[in-house]
Amino acid sequence: MADWVDVASLSDFPPGSVRSVDVDGTQVAVFNLGGTCYAIEDTCPHDGGVLTGGDVEDDVVICPRHGARFCIKTGKVLAPPAYEDVAVFAVRVEAGVVQVRDERWDEGDA
């Protein structure tokens, strides 16, 4: 089972901010949108560039390299040149700390 990875203290991670963190070898972008945190893979499937440097409009991040758009809440691709969604990750706040976990490999765990 994958472990929870600390991102930041919620008090140090205000609404509108984004952080990139390594979760089990995968770079994950964690966004605080209006006080709710969401996490998606920090890699554009179009060419492998990071998403954390891109502009955020509402709940959409725009890839800074070629302008592909992704929904931060669902990982869905919204505009080319990307045509594949990005992975989403579980997020929780425990004892005031934002944590992220990669649950993609947990299906076989009991």
Convert 40-103 into a string of H (helix), E (strand) and C (coil).
EECCCCCCCCCCCCCCEECCEEECCCCCCEEECCCCCEEECCCCCCCCEEEEEEECCEEEEECC
Residue reference for tokens 């890699």? 43
Output the pLDDT for position 78.
98
Q: How many CA atoms lie within 13 A of 74 on its CB side?
A: 7
Output the pLDDT for position 107.
61
Local confidence band at 103 (pLDDT 50, 70, 90 cut-offs): confident
Q: How many CA atoms lie within 13 A of 68 on its CB side?
A: 24
Q: Is the pLDDT of residue 102 over 80?
A: yes
Domain spans of the chain? 5-101
Local confidence band at 110 (pLDDT 50, 70, 90 cut-offs): very low
* pTM metric for this prediction: 0.91
pLDDT single digits (tens) 15-61: 999 999 998 889 999 999 999 999 999 999 999 999 999 999 999 99
Read off the amino acid at residue 25: G
Q: Alpha-carbon dihedral of residues 73, 76, 78, 81, nearest 10 degrees?
A: 130
Class of domain 5-101: mainly beta
